[in-house]
Structure 1
Amino acid sequence: MGSSVSMKDRHQAAREGLPEPRHAIGGRRLSTDGAGRWSHVDPSTGEVQALVPMGGAAEIDAAVTAARTAFPMWRDTPGVRRREIMERLARLLDEHRDELARLTVLENGASMATALHMTGLARDWMYYYAGWADRLDGRVASDRAYSGFAYTVPEPLGVIASIITWNGPIMSMGMKLSPAIATGNCVVYKPAEINPFTSQRFLELALEAGLPEGVLNIVHGGAEAGGALTSHPDIAKISFTGGDITAHKILDAANRNLRPALLELGGKSANLVFADADLDTALDFSVGTCMVNAGQGCSLPTRMLVERSIYDEVVERAAAVARAMPIGDPLLESNFVGPVITPVAGERILNTVARASAESGARVVTGGVRMEGEYADGWFIEPTILADVPPQSDVFRKEVFGPVLTITPFDSEEEAIELANGTPYGLAAYAQTNNHARIRRLGYALDAGSVLFNSAMAPVHFAPFGGVGLSGYGKEGGPEGLEEFIHRKTVMIG
């Protein structure tokens, strides 16, 4: 349907055939709603498009039991068979890429281009870890003084609790589920209540690919389900993506059972722009990447630090890029920025911008307002540039999670490093420079799990991704991501 059709009509048509949200527990599909029902609202139109059954402790316990029952079978399934199933699932993700992207747009308002990219990333992660499924091996350990024989065996942990946030559901499923199932674990997956559709369809495709029932179980729910899952004594490990406040609650629950956790949390990623950078490329990348998913991403470069000699030019050009950015109905591939997720998020973002201007003297160069007209029932916020942002301000140090780029000047490389490292987060750091000696220095000096130069982006499936400080711990991606879901048993023969 073309752009002459109204946005509401376009979204109503796109909802045809939405998957019915149900809990998937072993071979059963349940609509039990002991914790009530969640009215799922399309963030673009403000219309309710589904009622999601919210599970609680009973559904979680049943799902963990189903996963435990399936675990011996899946653990003992030959690695080559697990690889074949995962490769088939990766192909299905690719074949259904348009459908999964549409579901993502309806769930969280991501632009179609972003949703298609995220679906492609899920496919890539699934292919990558499929390739490891039959290549897990141990090593022989020896010592001249020991007359026996010793070796190690990689073994899956058991039942993994997987909990994700709402901003990139299909990508997160690829990131979290593929290494867990490749290594022979079973999973109880709790999607954010905002993401019932992609998880349901992902499971259907996984079963079509040959994944046995019980290996992947899904319980829709909120805090009650999350608390029951993370405190369940039969969970072997918790894998969580979200905020640090929820992470503290998860760790409290995990500690009671002495369970390990993998935490991918928030970020306030600095982006250092030096005078020797290619500004055309640097600014298109820096502003565009900050506004991906309406700025709702944990590792986006939302805090630009600019060498003073080019500061005024960069502010002016960054604002021009932001003003030219297509914003509107995310179902149309011509638009780059869609709505933010909820009215609460929208109010918080606008209040953050207003407070930054009133209290810290930050200058609103462009944006900072909600779009009206056809977009009035959704939460569309114009891409926003805040200049002259002081380092001591809240907007400099804390995550906004919206389409807001802050810009602050620096006078030396040393000051830039100090400013970049001046928050409690450390998920990613960026720099735009053509000085190779500086690249080597910054690679060591910036405190972040990933340091990215000249339009490089993370995460990628083939390299580890994870943060330091309030950005969490543990790694997703690369061989390091496999190690999160196995333990190395030592076998000794006298």
Structure 2
Amino acid sequence: MSTTTDARTLDNYVGGAWTPAQGAETLAVTNPATGALLAHVPLSGGADVDAAVAAARAALPAWRDVNVIERARRLFTLREQLVARREDLARSVTTEMGKTLVDARAEVGRAIEMVEAATAIPTTMQGRILEDISRGIDAETIRQPVGVCAAIAPFNFPMMVPFWFLPFAIGCGNTFVLKPSEQVPLTQQIVFEILHELELPPGVVNLVNGGREVVEALLDHDGVDAISFVGSAPVAKLVYERAARNGKRVQALGGAKNHMVVMPDAVIDKTVSGLIGSAFGAAGQRCMAGSVVVTVGEAHDRLLERLAAATRALTVGDGIDAASDVGPVVSCAARDRIADWIDRAVADGATVVVDGRGGLDGLPAGGAFVGPTILTDVTPEMAIAQEEVFGPVLAIVRAQSLEEAIGIVNRSRFGNGTSIFTESAPAVRRYRHDVQAGMIGVNISVAAPVAFFPFSGWKDSFFGDLHAHGPDAVEFYTRKKTVTSRYFGSGQGTGAYFVEQ
């Protein structure tokens, strides 16, 4: 497949070959910084899903019989080929999604780390054995593949999020169907070029482009055994319920409203840098973005002026430009939605300290730009402090004590991530113990775990039992089989056997 920016129509990848979608309807894929047309993505239908699932099902017996060491070696090769094309991949992420090239390179690096973690499958997939549970009887638990696994990926991480799932799934001996976001399908076209070069058995990995119809077909398909989803909380809940009702194993990662608590003793320079990166990196389009700052006591006055000055100094522009600190959001519709959120916050009583709705002269007229915005006089009850905006908007809430700050965080229906900025070990100990969120940062602004640990959101940020990547990935992509065995003819004669009375 070409990686040029002509208006080609993308293909699916099914059964080891690039395959045109059976439906004729397409959507335009545009560069959010310029509005330029990049490609057309097909809106595949049920027949395309049927073909991909059938290919995955047909490939499963042969692939699960490939020994685990060889599967790990294929992942080592995948890792090397991704490294060789990491700049192509990063530029693709920036061009179709908008985040700065620095952010995109970091995203590609995280995807490569996922492959590196998955290469440990010969160790992490090991079972357990206990000898002599009774005389001459042993018991062991082994892990085997779940079957055909599918993943439905969001727009904000075109490269990384699919790799939360793909390398672990195939490393464990499963076959795989990916539906990337129809807003950002181009990066996975490059990925599947690379996967094609691995010469995996046809059908081990499959790609189906499309929208809602593809999602629903995967959720309902009898040939799909497990579903992974990343997206908004309402959709994650629907995916979880529908997939589970259809007898599938499911992990559904939803939205977030991540709070960052700043204590009076925080190191302000480091804290400001962390807050800026968390709130405005990727233009705030991250489920781990810090979107609410809770200042405790005098921390508010120490922080606000310096945070506002640092925010005003950020440069908004095309993410491909090295001078840009903040790129566009994913679409003009997203831009307008974010501006409406700021207007609503002001109507509710918030004060705009830094306004990203203006001052963007000189940027392309077709670009989806909204600048970093800081709001003060925000109360925990305001919608801007409760709902996910998914844009570069930072709300500041005041608290008088750590206890009050913890209460503010815990009242959120979300529980993805949170951070505390302090030099006080007792404050950290209390915060990490009492706060109701799955990922905690201590003077770390984006507490997203590395590949060897699970992405462990709580509450409305996650629906399911087993999280993405880390040891949870091996648990999710394998089924346990326990074998109790005894052999006669060993010369031991007869004895008391393990039987139910």
Bucket of the pairwise TM-score, normalised by the shorter protein: over 0.9
Does 2:384 align with 1:395? Answer: yes
**Partner of 2:351 in structure 1?**
363
SS in structure 2 of the partner of residue 180 of structure 1: helix
Percent identity over the alignment is 34
Does 2:309 align with 1:339? Answer: no
**Partner of 1:155 in structure 2?**
144
Shift of 1:33: 4.6
**Partner of 1:382 in structure 2?**
371
Of 468, 476, 490, the match for 2:468 = 476
Does 2:428 align with 1:428? Answer: no
Amino acid at match of 1:478: G
Per-residue CA distance 1:25-47 (angstroms, 9 max, x = gap): 10232222526101112111112
Does 2:299 align with 1:297? Answer: no
Determine the C-alpha separation between the residues in 2 that align with 1:26 and 1:342: 33
**Partner of 1:193 in structure 2?**
182
Per-residue CA distance 1:108-147 (angstroms, 9 max, x = gap): 1111111111011111110111122465221114565575
Which structure shows the higher helix fraction? 1
Does 2:218 align with 1:226? Answer: no
Of 8, 28, 32, the match for 1:43 = 32
Distance 1:367 1:223, change over 3 A: same
**Partner of 2:59 in structure 1?**
70
Alpha carbons 2:145, 2:478 under 8 Å: kept: yes
**Partner of 2:485 in structure 1?**
493
Amino acid at match of 2:472: E
Distance 1:418 1:162, change over 3 A: same
Determine the C-alpha separation between the residues in 2 that align with 1:438 and 1:344: 41
Alpha carbons 2:219, 2:246 under 8 Å: kept: no
Shift of 1:484: 1.2
Deviates more, 1:110-119 or 1:245-254: 245-254
Deviates more, 1:244-253 or 1:53-62: 244-253
Shift of 1:368: 3.2
**Partner of 2:457 in structure 1?**
467
Determine the C-alpha separation between the residues in 1 that align with 2:65 and 2:190: 27
Amino acid at match of 1:60: V
Distance 1:464 1:256, change over 3 A: closer
TM-score by length of 2: 0.92
Alpha carbons 1:428, 1:451 under 8 Å: kept: yes
Distance 1:26 1:134, change over 3 A: farther
Alpha carbons 2:141, 2:480 under 8 Å: kept: yes
Distance 1:20 1:102, change over 3 A: farther
Does 2:19 align with 1:27? Answer: no
Does 2:440 align with 1:451? Answer: yes
**Partner of 2:304 in structure 1?**
315
Determine the C-alpha separation between the residues in 2 that align with 1:41 and 1:188: 25
Alpha carbons 2:260, 2:293 under 8 Å: kept: yes
Alpha carbons 1:315, 1:387 under 8 Å: kept: no
Determine the C-alpha separation between the residues in 2 that align with 1:245 and 1:195: 21
**Matched length:** 480
Distance 1:407 1:75, change over 3 A: same
Per-residue CA distance 1:249-280 (angstroms, 9 max, x = gap): 32343133221211121110110000111110
Q: Which of the two has higher C-alpha Rg?
A: 2
Determine the C-alpha separation between the residues in 2 that align with 1:251 and 1:22: 28
Alpha carbons 1:267, 1:426 under 8 Å: kept: yes
Deviates more, 1:401-410 or 1:436-445: 436-445
Determine the C-alpha separation between the residues in 1 that align with 2:237 and 2:453: 27
Alpha carbons 1:83, 1:134 under 8 Å: kept: no
Distance 1:484 1:336, change over 3 A: same
Shift of 1:442: 1.0
Alignment of 1:53-452 (within 5 A): 53-133=42-122, 135-141=124-130, 144-145=133-134, 148-359=137-348, 361-370=349-358, 371-452=360-441
Per-residue CA distance 1:189-225 (angstroms, 9 max, x = gap): 0001012111111011122234332111000000001
**Partner of 2:496 in structure 1?**
none
SS in structure 2 of the partner of residue 375 of structure 1: coil
Determine the C-alpha separation between the residues in 2 that align with 1:363 and 1:483: 47
Distance 1:106 1:19, change over 3 A: farther
